Structure 1
């Protein structure tokens, strides 16, 4: 019996390591199986995923998946950055922090176990070090924003790349430092890799003796005196990223070498001011009356909330709805992540997406409202 089990295990491993394996294609089969759940901290877990039949994953370090979940009878789409490295193509991993009151993160933490199945789309995204090769990097992460930078660091480590990397991670306490042991191992293995965690305070059973407080110009200069010469990647909560931007701008840093990523479902993307200006101009045209308006204006009804919003033909549905005070889930606002995917009950739209929706979903009447402009009155199932 033992020999049979060993043989079966060996065959399974050989199957997943077969270099001739085709790539995982969510267009053909979007189901991923949870292979393992790993606790990282008291409120962070890593979910290791694999296709039902052996396939290889191909992606760029820093990219993300969009999970399609049914939580409490409602279909939700959420983006999670891939924390694993493409140098290990047999599985893919996401690392998720439990958010108090967050429907998806709590569902993942409380429900997923080895053998669970979830649906996913991707990988996608353009936040990657491969797009910005440089001899020296500065990674700045806060909280669960560590995941895309961890994918990049793991990739360099696996390939034994002697790249000069300073990895700064901000956490509340030492008990909240995600991947602490692994990052320490990387630093021991690679003399050119430096890991510098910053903690605001002590943990219940550990007094912190490292860098303390929050990221400041003085602290950044102490950790990375040559930061002005580095390619900078930033990911974390909005206040953390705003602080990093301010520090770099005030220092005269070339912001063309600054790159950031965030999946904030509560805020309108600040990186799209021209879109907001477009909405404001369209609203002004509506208020001025038909003699001034230059484009048609359509009524968009959200069936579940019973809200009706007027949307000019040259404005995206999501932006107009947000300006009207509606809180709708979204993330990238570029037609890439799929978070705002919605059922179009009636009407027609013009949509130019960036990969966040599949053709079979479009054929089934789904749209991405962040990149859809009305061409008639609409009814949307939200």
Structure 2
């Protein structure tokens, strides 16, 4: 039996192994693993940080880094929540082999993606898939610290059953007024009612969910393509990106000086672009901040259009060459984008671009 921590219990350091004391299924191919030190030592970490586990695979020890999903306020234990992808090695081993009673060597905690020491501000958490794990630690800490938080929490998944921590988040939001939840799914479950948001998370959803997003610190975690789309929409809406923080699935950063500067493409009104409407034989110079639709209309060309906000898809045209910056709101599929199509109402030319109009 693992002893309960005492008031004089020392802090855990990575010279001591961790023992798995509980395994909790969370969603399809997702489990939470709860660890405690055999000595009963307590943990000290920041909400959002990670820990590295040495996994004894048959071919040798493999080290894997996982975000801590439990709150630092609950310092008697530490939890990591793992989603096993088809090609994952360490995570798949944990899902199939790690059971209560097993002991692992661990290193950390570490990482710079975390809340400030006094998290008294207004926050917007945006996550997708297992990117919700650091957000869960942060949200639980805000919930448990004894002060009413001001948190808008957005999490996205392919379907409702894949919303990790859904019940736990709903419990917190049902106990205090300062946590507002917003779930987004790509598709419904068969024969089940879903009344939340559907489709791709976009600017329209953001405005409906959190009208005061410009006043909040944003924390984002998910696949690279998801985080890129979030940055694009925030840049397009004039958000102060110095208040934006993100974590990556692949290589969590341990030191502030190691944070890679993100060089997003942002259309500039002082930069000139050139649009070549190849089917009409018309070439127009414009600012990068001008949309393809605006330039086409000014040149006397007709591109069918409707919403002018990237929703309806009416203004879809094919890009033959060049770079376009597009922030749409669900009006075009990934397959169409890969095939070279863009929405004229929310696309901006960067340099010279050829459009089939």
After superposition, the Cα gap between the structure-2 partners of 1:170 and 1:90, relative to the gap in structure 1 and judged at 3 Å, is: same
Q: 5+ residue gaps in structure 1?
A: 1-8, 275-382
1:141 is aligned to 2:130: no
* Distance in structure 2 (CA, Å) of the matches to 1:221 and 1:118: 45
* Distance in structure 2 (CA, Å) of the matches to 1:142 and 1:112: 25
Among residues 97, 118, 124, which one is paired with 2:110 in the alignment? Answer: 124
1:221 is aligned to 2:210: no
SS class of match (1:169): strand
* Distance in structure 1 (CA, Å) of the matches to 2:212 and 2:248: 25
After superposition, the Cα gap between the structure-2 partners of 1:134 and 1:230, relative to the gap in structure 1 and judged at 3 Å, is: farther
Q: Are 2:143 and 2:149, in contact at CA under 8 Å, matched by a contact in 1?
A: no
* Distance in structure 2 (CA, Å) of the matches to 1:210 and 1:152: 23
By how many angstroms is 1:132 displaced?
7.7
Q: Are 1:187 and 1:193, in contact at CA under 8 Å, matched by a contact in 2?
A: yes
* Distance in structure 2 (CA, Å) of the matches to 1:220 and 1:134: 22
In structure 2, the partner of 1:51 is 37
Could you state the TM-score of these two structures normalised by the residue count of structure 1?
0.64
In structure 1, the partner of 2:10 is 22
1:186 is aligned to 2:172: yes
1:162-197, Cα deviation, whole Å (9 max, x unpaired): 111000000111100111111011111111110111
Larger relative helix fraction: 1
In structure 2, the partner of 1:299 is none
Q: Are 1:134 and 1:231, in contact at CA under 8 Å, matched by a contact in 2?
A: no
Q: Are 1:135 and 1:164, in contact at CA under 8 Å, matched by a contact in 2?
A: yes
In structure 2, the partner of 1:238 is 224
1:229-251, Cα deviation, whole Å (9 max, x unpaired): 00000011111111111111111
SS class of match (2:4): helix
Residues 1-382 of structure 1 aligned to structure 2 (within 5 Å): 15-26=3-14, 28-29=15-16, 31-130=17-116, 133-264=119-250, 271=260
SS class of match (1:127): coil
* Distance in structure 2 (CA, Å) of the matches to 1:128 and 1:90: 20
Q: Are 1:173 and 1:208, in contact at CA under 8 Å, matched by a contact in 2?
A: no
By how many angstroms is 1:75 displaced?
2.8
Q: Are 2:150 and 2:179, in contact at CA under 8 Å, matched by a contact in 1?
A: yes
Give the superposed CA RMSD: 1.9
By how many angstroms is 1:272 displaced?
5.5
Q: Which runs of 4+ in 1 moved over 4 A?
A: none
By how many angstroms is 1:198 displaced?
0.5
1:262-304, Cα deviation, whole Å (9 max, x unpaired): 1326xxx993689xxxxxxxxxxxxxxxxxxxxxxxxxxxxxx
* Distance in structure 1 (CA, Å) of the matches to 2:119 and 2:36: 29
After superposition, the Cα gap between the structure-2 partners of 1:107 and 1:95, relative to the gap in structure 1 and judged at 3 Å, is: same
1:91-122, Cα deviation, whole Å (9 max, x unpaired): 10000001102111110000001111111101
Could you state the TM-score of these two structures normalised by the residue count of structure 2?
0.69
* Distance in structure 2 (CA, Å) of the matches to 1:226 and 1:58: 33
